[in-house]
Structure 1
């Protein structure tokens, strides 16, 4: 009887995790674990250190990543997550410069962000691509975006295409 109870609770826990991951896809575009893992790699940091930068406890971040919790309840934590995702494209961070990475982490950790109606992108296209264009255009001029697209063409053609469309979206150039 105990075995059936244990097995039943494991099944129930798996169902909860699957439901939470589905909710994360709906709310955040993808599971938060995927987003956080990319940041851990990009900033060459640990999950615990990243939690500290975000302003969330390491166990809470772990629960959100694994799907045991569905959402990040604190809007400032979510805003910091988005800030880190955007800072990945800073030239020094992209180049892996240790001081740039440390500075980006410090900037986000000490920030006092808020999410408002104007700070959350509204996606015009079904795939959300247009919401990336302003960020890319703030980071580089159209000519630079085209050059980077050329570098990525062979191994990452979809990303290269996105960069080209961002470069052309406000200039009318193709």
Structure 2
């Protein structure tokens, strides 16, 4: 099999396993955290050459589940208010937190409960794409079949004293 075919196969596997090519996910993190690929590899706990190979599709997967967990942690922290605003101290703190973490993936370690502070990170994103009255309108449309999502949209619409 030629290298080009291997890369295409690996990228297809990444889409299946991770939802999209890892290169796309990692590049977004590099931009969001204003960091280099080498620095990001250090935070994730993977060697820079290994990260490069995964990003380019020369390797299909990240074998260490803790590295995958840190990747997801960074993706989630992008939406915290300080990181979202580009505050350098918040960005550095997020990177330090993730680098110092020792996540373990297992059937008992993936959180499933809903915490109010988690949803608050979505509010600025929702408010950046829709006005409060638009969020309210969509919530009304979703009420019957998706009441939890409708509630989230309403809370985002009214966050920070926004009027309905």
- Interval of TM-score (by shorter of Structure 1 and Structure 2): 0.7 to 0.9
Structure 2 unpaired stretches of 5+: 155-164
Q: What is the alpha-carbon distance in structure 2 between the residues aligned to residue 172 and residue 80 of structure 1?
A: 26
Q: 2:79 aligns with which of 89, 97, 102?
A: 89
Q: What is the alpha-carbon distance in structure 2 between the residues aligned to residue 19 and residue 135 of structure 1?
A: 38
Cα 1:89–1:68, aligned 2, differ >3 Å: closer, same or farther? same
* Offset of residue 118 of structure 1: 4.5
Cα 1:121–1:19, aligned 2, differ >3 Å: closer, same or farther? farther
* Offset of residue 151 of structure 1: 3.4
Q: 2:107 aligns with which of 111, 117, 121?
A: 117
Partner of 2:59: 69
Partner of 1:169: 149
Count residues with an aligned counterpart: 144
Structure 1 unpaired stretches of 5+: 1-10, 123-133
- Confirm whether residue 27 of structure 1 aligns to residue 17 of structure 2: yes
* Offset of residue 150 of structure 1: 4.5
Q: Give SS of 1:117's match.
A: coil
Taking structure 1 as the reference length, what is the TM-score of the superposition? 0.70
Q: What is the alpha-carbon distance in structure 2 between the residues aligned to residue 152 and residue 43 of structure 1?
A: 21
* Offset of residue 172 of structure 1: 8.8
Partner of 1:4: none
Taking structure 2 as the reference length, what is the TM-score of the superposition? 0.74
Contact (CA 8 Å) 1:79, 1:114: kept in 2 or not? Answer: yes
